[in-house]
């Protein structure tokens, strides 16, 4: 009930936030998306750009991330999860911060997509007994992004190595469709190629409250059922995510 009250309060204040920022943002354009739900894009923050993200996930957890445009093509940041922050369950647990890096080395052409390399150490479903994430972070990745067929429709895809000990190469595919910089629909097929670490389908919607503030609602691992190796149940997860993107 407490979580429902928080979400209802958030929905009530969003129209006021949008109205307050309307005059400032009428001539503005939404900034490029640097990520979708879990999948990264080839988009980066501009030099002096700043992005703060907060994601509310299952069992009252919160994932916070901060990212900076430290050079013209280079973004650096960090992320951290806090389990059981929202609600009445105890104990609240802070997890070790993880590094975020992305470098865009090609801006794309008529046939070739924009390309970026990066590293994302943030995993999901932390297991206290093994002190590891049951869903590993993306690790080292290469991603390409390109607008196709019609304005606002973009495809994203790439490869990543999340476990350097096993040297598995994973893949990911995603699509996003943005309507007039107001709303975007997102779909991802992540963690491809290896049956011992099953793939996952994520779908969601992003509302551009202002060009600088977005609200995401999504379902991760759509239709998934089963258990992790630790015995923890694996199932679909509903998340709410807020993103604030601006520049200094």
The domain locations on the chain are 2-247
**243 near 213, Cβ under 8 Å?**
yes
Q: How confident is the model at residue 24 (pLDDT cuts 50, 70, 90)?
A: very low
Q: Which of 31-45, 69-83, 217-231 has the lowest mean pLDDT?
A: 217-231
Which residue in 55, 42, 51 sits closest to 70, CA to CA? 51
Q: What would the mean pLDDT of 233-246 be, rounded to a whole number?
A: 89
The tens digit of pLDDT for each residue in 139-148 reads 999 999 999 9
CB 206 within 8 A of CB 194: no
Q: pLDDT band for 20, please (50, 70, 90 cuts).
A: very low
Q: What angle do CA 51, 52, 55 make, to 5 degrees?
A: 130
Give the mean model confidence (pLDDT) for residues 132-144.
91
SS3 165: coil
| Mean pLDDT of the chain, nearest integer | 84
Residues paired with 202 in a beta bridge: 188
Q: Mind listing the pLDDT tens digit for each residue in 94-112?
A: 888 999 999 999 999 989 9
In sequence order, the β-bridge partners of residue 158 are 143, 172
State yes or no: pLDDT of 26 exceeds 80: no
Query: What's the rounded Cα separation, in Å, for the pair 35 and 177?
Result: 13
Tell me: pLDDT of 78 over 90.
yes
Looking at domain 2-247, its CATH class is mainly beta
Mean pLDDT of 203-228: 89
- The predicted pLDDT at position 28 comes to 52
The pLDDT of residue 242 is above 50: yes
Spatial CA neighbour of 41 closest among 143, 178, 171, 160: 143
């Amino acid at each position: 009930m407490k979580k429902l009250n928080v979400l209802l309060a958030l929905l009530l204040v969003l129209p006021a936030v949008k109205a307050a920022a309307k005059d400032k943002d009428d001539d503005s354009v939404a900034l490029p998306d640097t990520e979708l739900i879990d999948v990264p894009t080839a988009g980066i923050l501009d030099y002096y750009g700043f992005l703060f993200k907060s994601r509310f996930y299952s069992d009252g957890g919160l994932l916070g991330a901060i990212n900076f445009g430290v050079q013209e093509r280079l973004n650096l940041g960090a992320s951290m999860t806090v389990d059981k922050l929202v609600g009445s369950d105890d104990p609240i647990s802070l997890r070790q911060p993880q590094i975020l890096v992305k470098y865009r080395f090609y801006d794309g052409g008529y046939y070739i997509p924009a390309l970026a390399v990066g590293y994302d150490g943030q995993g999901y479903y932390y297991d206290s007994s093994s002190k590891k994430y049951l869903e590993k972070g993306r690790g080292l990745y290469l991603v390409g992004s390109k607008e196709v067929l019609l304005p606002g429709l973009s495809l994203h895809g790439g490869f990543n190595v999340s476990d350097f000990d096993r040297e598995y190469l994973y893949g990911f595919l995603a699509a996003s469709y943005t309507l007039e910089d107001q709303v975007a629909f997102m779909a991802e097929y992540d963690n491809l190629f290896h049956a011992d670490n099953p793939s996952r389908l994520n779908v969601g919607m992003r509302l551009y409250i202002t060009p600088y503030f977005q609200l995401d609602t999504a379902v991760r691992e759509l239709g998934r059922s089963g258990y992790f190796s630790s015995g923890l149940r694996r199932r679909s997860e509903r998340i709410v995510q807020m993103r604030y993107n601006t520049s200094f």
